[in-house]
Chain A
């Protein structure tokens, strides 16, 4: 019987010896530092009648608070973990106090990229981004009535909002209206169709900024681009479009930045119906705005905004100068025909 005990002990020992620890789990070599990549962000508040806005990148307030028709001066460099296949850098604007109001109410304006309505900005290292918060907070949300016709949203089939009724109509329906007067009663919703997730009102426009190249030895030029952020600058007829120019306060020539420009959301971005945000690029044309590099050699201008191709001037800014080698964006804001907080205006931001 002793042999049985021996066999038992032997089996037990063999069994225990056969137990092996898990393998396939090596020592980890984790990262030891936070990301160092940065991208550059700048925001412009172009919302007619809107409140003061704060700008958040990845949940962190970035740059100064902005009242309506005001832009941040210079970019803020923000650390990014990017790029990835999807969602990376979250962008939002929220009221400094209270709520944005209008269509969004207590909600924030959120930048939405891609076509699933939830993607973030895929920011690239060292890239420069200008975010313009625009559109009217008083504009009603689109009536999200199901309409197959409204889903055909190619460029020739933009969607229009009949302001009096809140009804959305297609471009074809809009063209079929009896007169320009009737057509003037409808605002373009750009390429946003009925049934989109576009809430109307406040939304983001993203401009990915590529700096121009100044000629060597440049002593007279700056770079100035123009963006029409006036939401009721209808695409037709022409007399409701926006014209903007720089008019010297003393000597020199006018610099016309735009004539009969459409609301930028009418043309910006893709066709996708589910995204309220839009993204595009606007080049920085070189302008001769000085006679020399000294501040005293910069020409002083006022910015004039017109809704009738400069027949009448709806807005004239305070005098402003443009430094040689510097890069600017001028944004027309407000509403055509607007008064008070909704009056036409122009914001100037300096990028570098």
Chain B
């Protein structure tokens, strides 16, 4: 029977679809006698005391034993017995997630020792032969005691010394992590957020459901994979033989937050946060079958508008007010606009004041642990997360520049509530894990089968369905956005369904000095993504009066929009027919050996192969694929070649003196990860077949003279059926302009995304080297170095971008050409083909690296008192930002000097160079009914980095805001002009203000005469001290402790005592200078017109010429007309102030 079972498992593994991660712990060690002689056949029994679950094995011929698949946590009692020897017992052993705790036994013969030997206490988690790579671990006791005002597991993962901000580790993108719960992938593998439900500002599980969280940065255990950032593993709690549980409630609001920022009374937006739930665990069959359930609910409301509308008739604007007025002022009045829309279109655009954004989540976890017998243990876990958040409208313009001043909420713009949207994140997952032992523990097997579904979709704020009407952006009197109404342009039809099926199987054999593990880990992904940006069109008007003039009833051609943008649907069936439905498979196989033959040395070595595979045939765009783009032919609709990615790894742990006082550990190897699948999905959707892009800025007329009048009932344009069939087969042809079949209007083009044929998933070569030393006073010191070299990093390039045609006079950077109208390629046109805008190709680069060095000190006084402190220096470089949800976003965000296809290696956006982490907890029980627990976390780190760029596009590469600035030394090195009609500064005054700004800026002042670097500037240092206080009142009732616990969580405690401390400062104006045009004489030929005899012929046979006009910039004042004189401004939001959260909990 056992053989049949084994065979079934192996067969399942061989054909399996795989999963990832480690869900349990293990133990190993050696049993010897007092003379160091190996004792084979000794009986080792480990008992998980809370549940009575027993794990057992016998020592092998060499005296070694292994026990796999053990519950995380403890305490465990371990008994070792052998005939003729006195039984030895070790108690209070706790196991960490993924840990293989080494516990050796030295038995004494009965003749020598008459009493049972009982050894109590945990083995050091650092000074342990299992520790090789960099990792952090947070057990349930720390999760309960350390402060976490958001009740978010990321509050603990951020205590990893090598962590950066926002869930990134080691200077790498947070999208390169792999998050597993009970071994099942819980990533949002599509990559729209680093964690599931992250868009709803929640986490996929409650802290009360978590037993332990582990962060692995450089694992040499080949079971760990699918990440090049960090592997973050969590395991859920299990039921025990005792019925236990807890019910809890936490709350905070604006009255429990700082009122001042840096000494200045600053109104705080009202908000309300509530988190409540319960957990319950216990036996169904004692020692056999256990259950655990948790349900948690979280509700938060925030004001949609932190800047308020000005009162009716107001002629001045206070600091916290928008320029909009609560009246029918024809230039700023939102009340008048709302009434106008109701009267003329029967459309209520919603409100613009007293509107709250809701954030809610419900999270459920149920887990069952079944001890089938001594050798087989089954765990089944399911969880459901339903969450949503109301979000301000996007500030993006999609495939065109965004509206000036954005659409959010600031001192310019107040958008109507109809432009806010709700993101819904619903996720469910079920996982089954079977841990088996065969042949008296000689073989073990771990099988995990999982399924996760993610259902994300958008609605309008409040959860109402999105109407098919356009968005209207209206500028105010100051030229910045005044308001928007109508649905957010990225919300209509927006939905994403993901399914992840996974199976992994790890089979281990314990041989003399070797533990051989082979395994397979497989994941099947299916995606159905509908993303129809701007499909209902976006109108932009220069003034409210212009909109009124273009709207019913007085619509005239004199008031056409300043810009009209629409993405039309190019396939029959409308927006829903543009769904990117596809599936992919990632197969993984590995073999590794843990070698222990060398005294005091443990070596783990193996090789893993990952094989990304694509299962869906995609529509081909034969026309685009036929284009010759500088010798490159795109493969629109083509997947990258399937090829195996090998990850050999070797790690060593060396107990230098053999007494675990000095430990050298480290290793090297390749890690293979995933990319966010949205980057591949971009290529599925943006193939030139599904959508065409149209943008008109011909104000007020287009070529036909009738413009694009406001059309409230505009529904998505859809091409006729012939269009798609012609493109899918037959003769390749251009895309028809559905806005005007006679091509009377400006032509429509398409944005193309494609994947390079040789594109490979990210791979890094990671090496770590560490020394752990037991220091006086029981302190364990660690010095750890980690180096990561990108082998295959992601690079986004524009294949349709012609090389630079000249040099920008004024700073010497390459200059690109302009764009011809109506698909026409003009001389030095920056595009190679006029039929497409950008052709963004997902490709690789081997540039980029990260390294860090960490010094850490940890001391565990006892189980109630622990302290840890660490300092980490990190360096991280990249060519291309490795974060973003669209190809266009990734491409356009790489600030550069030499052009977007040649942006070079620079500081990573996720780099945090200096970071100090400290945390600790202390618990004291007293007077038989009281216990007090205090905890603290401190994180001090360099501020966010950022790039100084121009607002505008002086190098004419077609992307605004990605040109790094030149930092002038003298007045002669920059051409400045006034900002606008209200700017009464002389040019000398403008230069003096700019010069003073540069001088006070710590970064710019050191780089005069040079270009700024991408992400080279840093915001000031951030100190963040969080405190927790738990006060328990308990008593025993029928032998069981009943506890009422009151809690205080103080976030940003330094700010409570000094409003100038604990501040978060942001860059005041990263886009420091506005580009407004070129100086005359300007050789227009380089940017649009043929110039005879101007240079060598281009590939089109047209002459080239370099522009001679220098760029002209403005250096804007602050909104109140004062000079910008400080590089940083305080974050006046809640995050920059102290907050206090109360909680009450009942525990039994």
Contact = CB atoms under 8 A, between A and B. Distances in A.
Contacts of A153: 558
Interface residues of A, number: 71
A51 to B, nearest CB: 18
B980 interface: yes
B1080 A12 contact: no
B1080 A82 contact: yes
Contacts of B907: 22
Interface of B: 328-331, 333, 336, 340, 475, 477-479, 542-543, 545-546, 548-549, 553-554, 556, 558, 562, 652, 654, 656, 664, 666, 668, 767, 769, 785, 787, 789, 807, 809-813, 847, 849, 851, 875, 877, 896-898, 902-907, 964, 966, 968-969, 971-987, 989, 1009-1011, 1013-1014, 1076-1081, 1110, 1112, 1114
15 contacts: A12-B785, A18-B787, A20-B847, A23-B905, A24-B902, A25-B904, A25-B1013, A34-B972, A84-B1078, A90-B984, A118-B479, A118-B981, A151-B549, A195-B331, A195-B545
Contacts of B789: 15, 18
Contact of A58 (B546, B807, B978): B978
A59 B977 contact: no
A90 B981 contact: yes
Given A15-B767, A31-B810, A154 B984 contact: no
B981 A87 contact: yes
A1 B654 contact: yes
A217 interface: no
A31 B1110 CA distance: 8
A102 interface: no
B543 A108 contact: no
A35 B1079 CA distance: 8
Given A12-B769, A146-B333, A30 B978 contact: no
A346 B298 CA distance: 76
A26 B897 contact: yes
B966 A28 contact: yes
Contacts of B906: 22, 24-25
B331 A197 contact: yes
A148 interface: yes
Question: What are the 3 closest A-B residue pairs judged by CB atoms, nearest first?
Answer: A24-B904, A84-B1077, A29-B812
B123 to A, nearest CB: 23
Contacts of B904: 22-25
A258 to B, nearest CB: 29
Interface stretch (A119-127, A173-181, A284-292, A325-333): A119-127
A30 B787 CA distance: 38
B329 A144 contact: yes
Nearest to B330: A195
A59 B987 contact: yes
Given A84-B1078, A151-B554, 13 more contacts: A14-B767, A18-B787, A22-B877, A22-B904, A24-B898, A25-B897, A60-B986, A81-B1079, A87-B1114, A88-B978, A120-B980, A154-B556, A196-B545
Contacts of B475: 116
B1076 A86 contact: yes
A82 B1080 CA distance: 6
Contacts of A253: none
A28 B1009 contact: yes
Contacts of B809: 31
A95 interface: no
A318 to B, nearest CB: 36
Nearest to A113: B981
A89 interface: yes
A71 B10 CA distance: 99
Interface string A150-166: 01111000000000000
Contacts of A117: 477-479, 543, 981
Contact of A124 (B972, B976, B1080): B1080
B543 A116 contact: yes
Contacts of A34: 971-972, 975
A273 B851 CA distance: 60
A110 interface: yes
Nearest to A29: B812
A19 B813 CA distance: 26
A146 B336 contact: yes
Contacts of B1079: 35, 37, 81-82
Contacts of A79: 987
Interface of A: 1, 4, 8, 11-12, 14-15, 18-20, 22-35, 37, 56, 58-60, 79, 81-92, 108, 110-113, 115-120, 124-125, 144, 146, 148-149, 151-154, 193-197, 271, 273-274
A115 to B, nearest CB: 5
Nearest to A34: B972
A14 B976 CA distance: 47
B849 A19 contact: yes
Given A29-B811, A151-B554, A152-B549, A88 B333 contact: no
A274 B545 contact: yes
A161 B327 CA distance: 23
A4 B654 contact: yes
Contacts of A118: 477-479, 980-982
Contacts of A88: 977-978, 1076-1077, 1112
B403 to A, nearest CB: 12
Contact of B849 (A20, A32, A108, A112): A20
A146 B329 contact: yes
A148 B330 CA distance: 9
A30 B330 contact: no
A320 B811 CA distance: 54
B543 A81 contact: no
Given A18-B849, A19-B851, A84-B1077, A4 B978 contact: no
B657 to A, nearest CB: 11
A186 to B, nearest CB: 21
Contacts of A87: 977-981, 983, 1076, 1114
Nearest to B767: A11
Contacts of A25: 897, 904, 906, 964, 1010-1011, 1013
Given A22-B1013, A58-B986, A152 B554 contact: yes
A25 B966 CA distance: 10
A116 B562 CA distance: 10
- Residue with the greatest number of chain B CB neighbours at <10 A, chosen from A124, A153, A195: A195
A31 B974 contact: yes
A22 B978 contact: no
Contacts of A124: 1080
A37 B1080 contact: yes
A59 B668 contact: no
A8 B1077 contact: no
A33 to B, nearest CB: 6
Contacts of A110: 981-982
A36 B974 CA distance: 13
Contacts of A119: 479, 980-981
B994 to A, nearest CB: 14
A9 to B, nearest CB: 9
A26 B1110 CA distance: 18
A79 B330 CA distance: 38
Contacts of A146: 328-330, 333, 336
Contact of B987 (A31, A33, A58): A58
B972 A31 contact: yes
Nearest to A110: B981
Contact of B330 (A14, A85, A144): A144
A148 B337 CA distance: 11
Contacts of A4: 652, 654, 664
Nearest to B809: A31
B746 to A, nearest CB: 19
Given A1-B654, A4-B654, A84-B1077, A271 B558 contact: yes
Contacts of A81: 975-977, 987, 1079, 1112
Contacts of B986: 58-60
B359 to A, nearest CB: 36
Contacts of B1078: 84
B1011 A90 contact: no
